Amino acid sequence: MKIGCIQLNVRFGKVEENYERAEHFIREAASKGAEIVVLPELWNTGFALEKLPEIADKEGERTKEFLQKLASELGIHIVGGSVATEHDGKFYNTMYIVNKEGELLSEYNKVHLFRLMDEEKFLHAGDQMNRFKFEDVEAGAVICYDIRFPEWLRAHALDGAKVLFVSAQWPTPRIDHWKTLLQARAIENQCFIVAVNRISKKVENFNGQSMIIEPWGEVLWTGAEDEELAIIDVDFSKVDEVRTRIPVYDDRRPSLYAGVVEE
C-alpha cells in the first residue's frame, strides 16, 4: 500500500489555516497515488492548550465531517492525526480513523498525557484501544507520548495489528528518543511503524523527522526537517515473514509476566 505522510507545519492556534493546509496536502497525496494518508498530532490547533475553550472542535464534528468528506471524495483512507476536541465541557486529544468510503472506523482519545507539556492540566485522558482495519490490513494507532509505554503498543499488536500508526508533536531536543523508541517498537512487535511528526520553528520547536520502519527495524524513510509530503510504498506481507522467522509471539510466557509487572 502507498502511504502518504504529511509532515505539517502546524500554525499555533490558527485553526482555519491548519484545516486549509491539511486539505491541501491530503488532496496532493491522493493525486500522487497514496492509498492511506497520515496527519500529525493536534494539527488543528497546535499546543495552544490555554485557548481550547475558544478553538477546540466541539464534539469533533468539524473534523469528522472534514475527514469523511475528503476520504469518500478522494477514495483514500485517512489516519486523522489528532485534534483538540471538546465534549461536555471537557477537552481531549482525539484521533479519528476514516476509510476510503468515508466511514468512521475508530475514535481514540490519547491515553497517556504528557506532563512536560502540561497536557494533564487541560486535557482528559482516554481509556480505550485504537484498533481498526484498512481493507485486509489489521492496524492500530497511538499518539506521541504513548510510544514510551511499550505495553500499550504491544496490546495493540497482540490484538492483531500489523501496522501501528503514530501521530506526534515530538520536540527537537528529544528527537533521538523518538527515533530509538520507534525502532524498538517496530522490532519488539514485529510490525510496521508509520510515525508522523510535525514541523514548527517559531513558537514551538519541532523538527519533523517522521519515520516509516519495517518489522526488522530497518528505516524505510525519514522525513526532512521541514514541511513535507512523502509517499512510501509498504508491503505489509513482510510482517508474517518476520513473525515466522523469529516466533516471538509463540515464545511469549505471559503467565510469568503478570507477577512481575505491577499496575
Give the active site residues. Answer: 41, 110, 144
The helix or strand, by DSSP H or E, that contains position 240, with its residue range, turns out to be: helix 238-245
Alpha carbon distance 86, 247 (integer Å): 43
Q: What is the CA radius of gyration of the chain?
A: 17
Question: Which 3 state secondary structure label does DSSP give 106?
Answer: strand
Cα of first residue to Cα of last residue in the chain, in angstroms, is 38
Instruction: List the strands of the sheet with 192-196, edge to edge.
Output: 131-134, 137-143, 163-167, 192-196, 211-213, 219-222
**Residue ranges with strand state E in the chain:** 2-7, 36-38, 57-58, 77-79, 83-87, 90-98, 104-109, 131-134, 137-143, 163-167, 192-196, 199-201, 205-207, 211-213, 219-222, 228-233
Helix %, strand %, coil % of the chain (to 5): 35, 30, 35
Grid cell of 168 as nine digits: 506526534
State which amino acid sits at residue 95.
M
Alpha carbon distance 209, 149 (integer Å): 21
155 neighbors 112 (Cβ within 8 angstroms): no
Grid cell of 25 as nine digits: 496536502
